[in-house]
Amino acid sequence: MGDGCRKSRVRSPLPVMHLPSFSPTHAVAAAALLGVAFSVPLEGQIAFTGLEGVRTPNGISADGSVIVGSDIFSGSPPVRWTAATGAVPLGSISGDATGISADGSIIVGTGLLSQNQFKPYRWTQDGGATVLTTLPGSIDSRIYGVSADGTIATGFTALSDQYTQATKWIGVDPQPLAFIPGGGTNSMGEAVSADGSTIVGYAATATGQIHAVRWTDTAGLFDLGALGGFNSLATGVSEDGSFIVGYVVPTSTSPEVKGFIWNGTEGKTDLSLRGMSVVPRAVSSDGSLVIGYTQRNGSPLEGFVWTPDSGVRDFGDVLRNTYGLESKLADWSGLYPWEMTADGRFIAGSGFHDGTLEGWLLDRGLNPPPLGESGPFSPVPEPSIYGIASALLLGLLSWKRRKKAAPEGCAKRERAPAPEAR
């Protein structure tokens, strides 16, 4: 992940198998196995899974297999979800999990761990939760993002009721991040790049305005400015740190905020809808896909997706009408995406399932096309469909093999090489 490049995944050709004659029992067993094997999304197929026990997904591993977030009951421990285990609490921590390493082995978050103070922690399956050190004088510390290897995290440290400082944790040790020169004494780190070298968030100016900022190991703090508005905040960063997303408050009295994506070459691109607030949450590694939520006049949150070609589109509309998930989502409403893997394949978020807030996971399949564009896409067929097709295929192979079997006493013919898998 360090070079920021996405490598296409190429399947190795299947080995040539010498198939014995199949009985009906063999065919049924093989069909069941193939049904399981092919129930994962292939290219052009979409899978949507409800995350029972996870209310708000706040982190997702690179392969989409591990998700962390909060439990459905307020005040319960944060949870770690996999398809095999479901939602499992992270021990006795009371708080939230807000980030996860790329391989899913390290989780970071904030817990109410001692003396009624929130403390940042790092959790592993073997060692449990380790409380991280905080800056001297801290009365509160929180973590919001973590690097791909789980060693670098960012958030803030509150040193008084009105004084917060963006903080970078390397291992368990905190480092304060610089304020805007001559500016105020409030800042916060929101997200971190895969290698931990770039952190984005916001910092206050001398006049009390808020600006989106970027901190890097090489250049220190870079002020993006108000970006054409009164305040601006950065909420997400791409894998290599080159793309930043966030939102702008147009005026001091604006009822809505406008989203943006920014890079050092092209500057800011607006992500906006008239009469609605647009808040980006995450951006893909190449900057071609942004997800987040919208809101109109205090109404419930709704999701959006953005691509350079499609602009801002309603997330639920894309799932139901473009991806063909209308029947799958019949008992869901108010879907909004919260987290996304760097390649854009896996997206996690929240919505109301039969009236109850619940997390969900979207798998867009191998080599996913742009989310904002039209198909052809299709939901993943049920495993039973694959099982039936597999049984028919194996039966045909078995019949053809018996038909072509050499008569007794004849020399066996050399088998032609198997064609390459396409």
Spatial CB neighbours of 189, under 8 Å, sequence gap ≥ 6:
144, 145, 154, 155, 156, 166, 167, 168, 177, 199, 200, 201, 215
Percentage of the chain surpassing pLDDT 90? 62
CA distance 411 to 357: 68
For the cut 90, the answer to whether the pLDDT of residue 99 exceeds it is yes
For the domain spanning 43-379, the CATH number is 2.120.10.30
Per-residue model confidence (pLDDT) at position 367:
74
pLDDT digits (tens, 9 = 90+) for 292-316: 999 988 788 999 999 999 999 999 9
What average pLDDT does this structure show over 229-252? 97
CA torsion sign for 117, 118, 122, 127 is positive
Least confident of 40-54, 254-268, 292-306: 40-54
pLDDT digits (tens, 9 = 90+) for 340-358: 999 999 999 999 999 999 9
Domain ranges of the chain: 25-40+381-396, 43-379
pLDDT digits (tens, 9 = 90+) for 138-190: 989 999 999 999 999 999 999 988 899 999 999 999 999 999 999 888 999 99
pLDDT digits (tens, 9 = 90+) for 242-251: 999 999 999 9
For the cut 70, the answer to whether the pLDDT of residue 414 exceeds it is no
What average pLDDT does this structure show over 407-411? 42
For the cut 50, the answer to whether the pLDDT of residue 410 exceeds it is no
For the cut 50, the answer to whether the pLDDT of residue 274 exceeds it is yes
